A and B are shown apart, each in its own frame.
Chain A
Amino acid sequence: MKGLLIKDLKILAKQKKFFIFVLLLMVVMSFSMEDVSFSATYSVLIISMLTLTTISYDEMNGGMLFLLSLPANRKTYVKEKYVFAMLNLMFAAVLAFAFGYVASMVKQTDIAVADFAASVMIVLVAVGMALALAIPVDLKYGAEKGRMIVIGVLAGFLVIAVAVYKAISALFHIDVVAELTKVLARIESKALLATLLTGGPLVALLLVLYVSYLVSNRIMMKKEF
């Protein structure tokens, strides 16, 4: 496991140009826009996706044959990939916060910490969920095909979600978002509300990642190379 983690970190370290590009993009975006949270959350999105980049490098040139001939079995490989994905998500979040902090200092604007944290967290959870879908799909169909499938599924999901939302609004004449906001507004304790809003999605993400891990394990155990 440790060996595989070092391998993935080394792959990340080889993406120097990519990181410089992301950093430049963040700087440019945060200065051209009022709000620094957009560039920060955007970086979370693309850095987290690097987990998938490591899968595509693993697959290249018979890389999986090589890795599985080392003292690492299929289970260790899957476990490591999820550990790495979570570490990478955390790294992206820390980077986003650090960047947000520095940018607000430089621009001498106050950022609403709670809002900033919320937007980073929303993206983090969303990207984590997307990874939970993408990792097993990539392992099953290969990174190239997997990417297309994941984009397709996510787009489909978005279309369906919007359609369901509109259908409910039209049929029952209620706005789901407004109703939910009302329900949440009834919670009087601010602390409870904050815990619900941050803890809830994080717990959901961990659950989804765990299910995804189990699925990936099954896929890898069945796969022939």
Chain B
Amino acid sequence: MLLKLENVKKNYGKFELDCSLEVRKGQVTGLVGRNGAGKSTTFKSVLGLIYPDSGNIEMFGKKLSEVTPEDKEQLGVVLTEANACELFTAKDMLPVLKAMYKSFSEQEYVGKCKQYDIPMEKPLKEFSTGMKAKFKIIMALSHDAKLLILDEPTAGLDVVMRTELLDMLRDYMEDEERAILISSHISTDLEGLCDDIYMISDGKIIIHEETDVLLSEYGVLKVTEEQYESIDKEYIMATTKEKFGYLCMTNRKDFYQENYPQVAIEKGNIDDLIMMMGKGGRK
């Protein structure tokens, strides 16, 4: 286990985080949820940037408070809000990172900057949003980290860049000892990359499922009002009212396919989950 959160609570008055999750070796774990659902709070807790009120966080098998800067060399981090000094160029960052990480690979860093069109001599403040995002990931990937913690790494990237980035992450995962915890609001990114997905809403983890299960067994029922009254609601997780009747999210698509062949059922995806399981939609 590279990362484990157990009932990590943080109270901000109106909002309370209560999160448990695990990231295992060889796995890519996704964290999805709407804006303000608690994704960034979770990431900040993991990184020790905020102090949870209660609960346990373990990283690399150690309590978070016992994790040393040397241990943190095993970590690669991208946070949406976090940026290197704007005055700096990629070239300026090189000696800084080299001094920070024993296993920093100058060759890899320079090579990746070249490969992904990051100019070495241009200050970061002149970078486009996409360049900034790519550069952050290059910095996180250049020191042979065991665990990547990526909060919205694809934010601001166009389709081509996103594909490039996802390829970088797939390459990274070729080593079985590694793992990634990633959040994104672009669900297709996660569907193709993650082994399992946690969904967070209102600070709480409401679903944890293997991505395959999620894509094959979850579905959305489109039912009229009469159909809604008649169906067994045991496997309905969320319902929203629509003009024609109801949309129901189920985690047992097969059950309804067998028992209610007349009901229209669509394959579930992460977007539907977020939309229906987020605020208000839940049963």
Contacts and interface: CB of A to CB of B under 8 A. Distances in A.
A224 B45 CA distance: 10
A189 interface: no
A1 to B, nearest CB: 9
B49 A76 contact: no
What range describes how many residues of A lie at the interface?
20 to 34
Given A6-B95, A65-B49, A224-B49, A70 B81 contact: no
Contacts of B73: 71
Given A70-B72, A73-B69, A65 B81 contact: yes
A10 B42 CA distance: 32
Interface in A9-24: 10-11, 14
A87 B248 CA distance: 65
A69 B99 contact: no
Contacts of A71: 69-70, 72-73, 75, 100-101
B97 A68 contact: no
B124 to A, nearest CB: 9
B242 to A, nearest CB: 40
A58 interface: yes
At the interface, is chain B mostly helix, strand, loop or mixed?
loop
A63 interface: yes
A192 B166 CA distance: 70
B99 A2 contact: yes
Interface in B77-92: 77, 79, 81-88, 92
A160 interface: no
Contacts of B95: 6, 10
B265 to A, nearest CB: 43
Contact of A3 (B79, B83, B86, B100): B100
A14 B82 contact: no
Which of B82, B84, B86: most chain A CB closer than 10 A?
B82
Given A65-B81, A69-B77, A225-B44, A10 B70 contact: no
B256 to A, nearest CB: 45
Nearest to B97: A3
Contacts of B88: 10, 14
B79 A69 contact: yes
Nearest to A10: B92
Interface string B8-52: 000000000000000000000000000000000000100111110
At the interface, is chain A mostly helix, strand, loop or mixed?
helix
B86 A61 contact: yes
A7 interface: yes
A210 interface: no
Nearest to B140: A69
A218 to B, nearest CB: 14
B85 A7 contact: yes
A71 B86 CA distance: 20
B99 A63 contact: no
Interface string A59-81: 01111011011111100100000
Contacts of B69: 71-73, 76
A3 B96 contact: yes
A157 interface: no
A68 B96 contact: no
Contacts of A60: 85-86
Contacts of A6: 95-96, 99
Contacts of B100: 2-3, 70-72
Contacts of B87: 10-11, 14, 57
A10 B96 CA distance: 9
Interface in B157-202: none
Contacts of A72: 69, 72, 100
A61 to B, nearest CB: 4
A219 to B, nearest CB: 14
B97 A69 contact: no
Contacts of B98: 3
A3 B77 CA distance: 17
Interface of B: 44, 47-51, 69-70, 72-73, 75, 77, 79, 81-88, 92, 95-101
5 contacts: A62-B81, A63-B85, A65-B82, A68-B48, A70-B100
Interface of A: 2-3, 6-7, 10-11, 14, 57-58, 60-63, 65-66, 68-73, 76, 224-225
Given A10-B88, A62-B82, A63-B83, 12 more contacts: A3-B98, A7-B96, A10-B96, A14-B88, A57-B85, A58-B85, A62-B79, A65-B49, A70-B100, A71-B69, A224-B49, A224-B50
